[in-house]
Amino acid sequence: MKRDQEPLGRQEPPPPPGEADGAEPEPPVWIFGYGSLVWRPGFEFTSRKVGFIRGYSRRFWQGDTFHRGSAKAPGRVVTLLEDCGACTWGVAYEVCGEQIAASLQYLNVREAVLGGYDSKLVKFHPQDKDAASAKAALYQALPSAVEAEQHFIHTTELICQETTSGFVTTCFSAPAT
């Protein structure tokens, strides 16, 4: 080691971006995941907490041809429906500093552009009773996408009811009376 160098253990880390010029650091952003974001967030985060949001119920009511399925047979992905008596459990991810812009840009493509979702802020309640609640961003299917999917589901159910065969029997629709 050269004389003018200090041992690595004694060096001060550089200040975070924004603090060097005296500016306040950017506050963290929380992102709530209730579906694939729980097990595959796809972005860097500082911490995560298990918890819930109130006023929403989780449903596989979003048709999807990018992440799952095809144009002829769209797959189902989860979304949230407003439901005043419900609560939905998931994971909130804390993103800080440079993670904020990178994660929001990534999620905008993954959830909004490719997935048909829109973002909104909700109150997140951590499972840990000692932890404070926080505002968190979440991605929810656009109402038009859910309405279109409900029409698709209803039409598919009618077709299945008319022509379905199962292990025990074949199901035919009853004749009109």
How far, in Å, CA of 90 to CA of 32, rounded? 7
Asked if residue 168 belongs to a domain, the reply is: no
Asked if residue 107 belongs to a domain, the reply is: yes
Query: What is the torsional sign of CA 12, 15, 20, 24?
Result: negative
Confidence of residue 64 (pLDDT cuts 50, 70, 90): low
Give the type of residue at 1: M
Average pLDDT (79-83) is: 87
* Structure letter (DSSP) for residue 23: P
Task: Tell me the whole-structure pTM to 2 decimals.
Answer: 0.67
Query: 162 in helix, strand or coil?
Result: helix
Residue 113 tokens, joined: 């552009």
Task: Cite the active site residues.
Answer: 111
Confidence of residue 16 (pLDDT cuts 50, 70, 90): low
Query: 138 in helix, strand or coil?
Result: strand
pLDDT (0 to 100) of residue 158: 43
How far, in Å, CA of 76 to CA of 63, rounded? 5
Query: 140 in helix, strand or coil?
Result: strand
Which residue would you say has higher pLDDT here, 170 or 116? 116
How far, in Å, CA of 16 to CA of 8, rounded? 19
Residue 134 sits in which domain range? 17-163
Query: CA-CA-CA-CA torsion for 47, 38, 131, 28, nearest 10 degrees?
Result: 50
Q: Which residues pair with 54 in a beta bridge?
A: 87
Q: How many distinct structural domains can be found in the chain?
A: 1
CA-nearest of 101, 130, 91 to 28 is 101
- CATH number, domain of 159, equals 3.10.490.10
Query: pLDDT at residue 10 above 60?
Result: no
Give per-residue burial for 129-161: e unless 16+ CB within 10 Å, then b.
Answer: eeeeebebbbbbbeeebbebbeeeeeeeeeeee
Asked if residue 154 belongs to a domain, the reply is: yes
Q: From the CB of residue 175, how many other CB atoms can be counted at a distance below 10 Å?
A: 5
Asked if residue 85 belongs to a domain, the reply is: yes
Confidence of residue 70 (pLDDT cuts 50, 70, 90): confident
Residue 17 tokens, joined: 């971006």
Confidence of residue 123 (pLDDT cuts 50, 70, 90): very high
pLDDT (0 to 100) of residue 48: 96
Asked if residue 113 belongs to a domain, the reply is: yes
